[in-house]
Copies of this chain bind each other. A is one copy, B any other.
């Protein structure tokens, strides 16, 4: 094949992938070429625009390192991460909706008992959180592993607070015999995604803000069920309708209810005002 023009080049490039040994890779490359060429034909970039795109992608790779993944941020801010999440989580009734993992999950957070305080002394408004973990069909799941992580009252994660000695505002606990979990922490705050790189430049150029509404992350796993990765968002947050990474779902929003000093649900007495969060999770069974 020679003499490619703007119309026949797509078929020619796809034909070049015809010999790909792996059938899935062949499918991916074929679809990529078709959609990428359709995009180019649609917008008809000038050479200067094409080179700007090349340099944007180059900078996005070059700013990434072991602590920062700018291409994931790009995927997040273009709604691709949540689209991939949705495609991979077609849920039965009763299963909790999912959202992006985000960049702040870490393996090996402290194992704590129910009722523990995971704030590790970080200042903030006391939050008592509790809930249950069940299968989508309502079967209680005692012994389920509940990992939780969140920002502090100013929107920073422990990873972003070099003054901290070790982890804070994260932990893992297990549901009790009644499939319940409960812990103490502080109320999280809204925060901006990192915006000092190419993705931040894109947000600025398109008059978008980098903020995420306040939330607590949960990752919940039990044998025989798909691991659930989700957030619970604070009702009333001003960024719920404009989350920079499109992670909000109505079913994941809860009141973090204001309570006065007095006994909390496990009998421990709060000396001042505190907030109360309750969320019952439903897990999707693994399909064979």
Contacts and interface: CB of A to CB of B under 8 A. Distances in A.
Interface of A: 1-6, 9-10, 12-13, 16-17, 19-22, 25-29, 31-33, 35-47, 49-50, 54, 57-62, 64, 69, 71-72, 75, 78-84, 86-88, 205-208, 240-242, 246, 248-251, 253
**Most-contacted residue by chain B among A13, A40, A44, A251 (CB, 10 A):** A40
A265 B97 CA distance: 78
21 contacts: A2-B248, A3-B250, A4-B79, A9-B83, A10-B79, A16-B206, A16-B242, A16-B246, A19-B206, A20-B206, A31-B43, A32-B39, A32-B43, A45-B84, A47-B84, A50-B84, A54-B71, A57-B71, A58-B64, A58-B71, A62-B62
Contacts of A33: 78-79
**Most-contacted residue by chain B among A2, A13, A19, A78 (CB, 10 A):** A2
B84 A13 contact: no
A-B pairs with lowest CB-CB distance, top 5: A61-B61, A13-B79, A35-B39, A6-B86, A20-B206
Contact of A206 (B29, B205, B250): B29
A241 B36 CA distance: 23
Contacts of A246: 4, 9, 12-13, 16
Contacts of A75: 50, 54
A40 B64 CA distance: 23
Contacts of A208: 16-17, 19
B249 A3 contact: yes
**Most-contacted residue by chain B among A6, A41, A49 (CB, 10 A):** A6
A28 B10 CA distance: 20
A75 B38 CA distance: 14
A40 B84 contact: yes
Contacts of A16: 206, 208, 242, 246
B47 A42 contact: no
The oligomer's copy count stands at 2
Contact of A37 (B10, B71, B79): B79
Given A2-B248, A248-B2, A9 B57 contact: no
Contacts of A25: 205-206
B43 A27 contact: yes
B22 A78 contact: no
Nearest to A47: B88
Contacts of A242: 16
Given A2-B240, A57-B60, 15 more contacts: A2-B249, A2-B253, A3-B248, A9-B246, A16-B206, A16-B246, A19-B208, A20-B206, A28-B43, A31-B42, A32-B78, A45-B84, A54-B71, A54-B75, A58-B71
